[in-house]
Chains A and B, each alone.
Chain A
Amino acid sequence: MRSKGGNPARTAWLIAGGLLAAMLLFAGCGSSSSNSGEELQKVGKGEGSLNLISWAGYVEPAWSKPFEQKTGCKVSDKEAGTSDEMVELMKTGQYDGVSASGNATARLVAANLVDPVNVSLVPNYKTVFSDLKNQPYNTFEGVHYGIPHGRGANLLMWNGNDVKPAPDSWDIMFDPKIAAKYKGKISVYDESSYIADAALYLKVHKPELGIENPYELNEEQFNAAIELLKEQRKNVGEYWSEAAKQISAFAGGDVTVGTTWQYQYFALKEEGVPVKASPASQGFLPKEGATGWSDTWMISSEAKHPNCMYEWMNWIIEPKVNAEVAEFFGEAPAQEKACEHTANPNFCSEYHAEEPAFWKRVYYWETPLADCGNGEEDCKDYNDWVKAWTSIKG
């Protein structure tokens, strides 16, 4: 081999040079993404498909199929279990839109992952409940960033056969004495936002801490919440972040009480598991109130099918569709006129859809920020929450 001409060292250098050139080419391809940051001015013809990220139960064939027929936009949906997952998926730039909760919206906007929404192109927006418009989690510096989808509270759910009498307070999960009765049978949501549930409990049971908003916690308040959660850890049977995981745990008898969403509650009832939640007449709220969500459909700044996304945002708050969505999931609709179309005529009053006063006791998920409005920037920010959550679980 060696005799046949050619200089090995020279050849090696040539190859290395070629590789370097290929690498630069590669790098060049990767770094050319545009961020328009502009609202759409006119909804044109649909692009034929639509890629969404949603919470389980938000994009169901019952209303996505008629949408496809009407607009020709074929819907592919990716379900996410937590807000973190949603932010992470949006970073890939492969989706057109997301049903973001309040603890994701600010992050999505700050990272330029979503574009403002021109609400005048969404005719149904006019009749969205006014206490869902211009909220700090969907409107930033006066600019609209999304279309409200619906709202609700995180539920306290228990197995009626094992937990008697019916609890009316979060004591059952947080008071060390009461919770110890259900040691190993408690089911807790596995995300740092759950720290707010502990803070809400302390707001009522330890007023001396002076907690106002459970997402705005200073050092002392934050540490008290963490202490409470570390105490709770001993009694927790399972942390869940996928709805399917919690459903299988309740159905298999592995857990008997926990925090949940309507989606799992209805799924378990359908399976014949004797689960219960605070009655709808109380809006599913234990006496301390509850954390909850108010979700917003947002459009990706890299949306490849913006026209379809605008069609979707209008479709999901179409009175009939929004009624269907709300009843399927078990949440209050965002659309005023949806209340005329619900299958259960009392649905809106049971879910307090039209009572702004009721929603004052529901603390919608928010992104914790260091600057929490007291001018001192001494609140714990989102990264602190994530790290604390890791240390709670140990």
Chain B
Amino acid sequence: MATEAVIERRSTGHRLAGLLHGRPRLQVGALLAGPVGWLVIGYLGSLALLLVAAFWSVDPLSGATIKKFTLENFESLVNEPVYRTIVWRTIRTALLVTLTDAIIAFPIAFYMAKLASRRGKALLVVGILLPLWSSYLVKVYAWRTLLSTDGAIHWALSPIGLDTPGYGTTAVWLVFSYLWLPYMILPIYAGLERIPNSLISASEDLGASPFTTFRRVILPLSFPAVVAGSIFTFSLTLGDYITPRLVSNDQFIGNVIFNNIANNQPFAAALALVPIVVMIAYLLVARKLGAFEHV
């Protein structure tokens, strides 16, 4: 009788604690249920919905979805040449921006990791992170002003007989390369930081020239970091639509999705699958190149 009364009086919290006691798997399960639930429902769930929606169609007037299986979205995606042009333009720009950022980022990251003083290092890290604190739109509009016919670039270049590239494909490439540069510098910096200086000394002792040391020691060891950085620059370019819209007339995949989303969500969904497929392919290649070994 007495024990029963004691059990009665125990609060729900206590009972729960009792239930979890000595059951580590249940404990871990309860702890992870929230984040895993978010991943599965909120994240993968919406992707699944996107995949399904791509096979539907719409009522032309109301934009209401007709939930009947059809392949027409994919047919027009494949058959109309304009979409091929746009997909290819997007991928090409993403690759070009990635390459540009890698070439600019590597020396900066190398200086930061191996040459700069403690103070200099801290200053550089702050300097690189600083642009990330201001709004994306402000930065793109600033570039609009810079690139304008009477803008600062025109003013700076006209004395040497050159001119601003104006709004267009070149402008898109410039602005993207500027915007995503920090995302390339930081992983490379982290990768180079991890290479022990003793390896460089050893290479020197064995008679290797600085160029050989770079080619045979530093580059192979930091390459996975470059690939990791390229995932950011590549995927960010692939998904952006505001920069192309503000500094050019070029249409990217994102612009076409944006144009169709108000009235034809299934077609927008079909288009949205294109960058996903491209990204999966890119990640598979990145894994082959060892980008995930140090993550």
Interface residues of A (CB under 8 A from B): 1, 4-6, 8, 11-12, 14-15, 18-19, 22-23, 26, 84-85, 87-88, 91, 106-107, 110-112, 184, 192, 236-239, 241, 244-245, 248-249, 252-254, 367, 369-370, 381-383, 386-387, 389-391, 393-394
Contacts and interface: CB of A to CB of B under 8 A. Distances in A.
A236 B166 contact: no
Contacts of B76: 387
A5 B251 CA distance: 59
A107 B63 contact: yes
18 contacts: A4-B23, A15-B32, A19-B40, A22-B41, A23-B40, A85-B262, A111-B63, A192-B259, A236-B249, A238-B167, A239-B249, A241-B245, A244-B141, A252-B148, A252-B151, A253-B149, A382-B61, A389-B259
Contacts of A391: 80, 82
Nearest to A367: B61
B41 A19 contact: yes
Contacts of B245: 241
A254 B41 contact: no
A11 B25 contact: yes
B148 A248 contact: yes
A382 B101 CA distance: 41
B104 interface: no
Contacts of A23: 37, 40-41, 45
A386 B264 contact: yes
A320 B145 CA distance: 39
Given A6-B23, A106-B61, A26 B41 contact: yes
B82 A254 contact: no
Interface in B29-60: 29, 32-33, 36-37, 40-41, 45, 58-60
Given A19-B40, A382-B263, A1 B24 contact: yes
Interface in B135-175: 141, 144-145, 148-151, 166-167
A254 B166 contact: yes
B22 A394 contact: no
Q: Point out which of B29, B45, B80 has the most chain A C-beta atoms below 10 A from its C-beta.
A: B29
Interface string B169-204: 000000000000000000000000000000000000
A36 B61 CA distance: 21
B256 interface: yes
Contacts of A85: 262
A236 B85 CA distance: 19
Contacts of B33: 15, 18-19, 22
Interface of B: 22-26, 29, 32-33, 36-37, 40-41, 45, 58-64, 76, 80, 82-83, 85-86, 141, 144-145, 148-151, 166-167, 245-246, 249, 251, 256, 259-264
Given A5-B22, A381-B60, 18 more contacts: A6-B25, A19-B33, A19-B37, A23-B41, A84-B263, A87-B263, A106-B61, A110-B64, A248-B145, A253-B149, A382-B60, A382-B61, A386-B260, A387-B76, A390-B251, A391-B82, A393-B249, A394-B85
Nearest to A384: B60
A240 B191 CA distance: 43
Closest A-B pairs by Cβ, 9 of them: A252-B148, A110-B62, A84-B262, A111-B62, A88-B262, A381-B60, A391-B82, A11-B25, A253-B149
B180 to A, nearest CB: 22
A238 B259 CA distance: 17
Contacts of A91: 262
Given A107-B63, A369-B61, A386 B249 contact: no
Given A254-B149, A394-B85, A14 B41 contact: no
B41 to A, nearest CB: 5
Contacts of B63: 87, 107, 110-111
A233 B158 CA distance: 28
Contacts of B32: 15
B134 to A, nearest CB: 18
A5 B61 contact: no
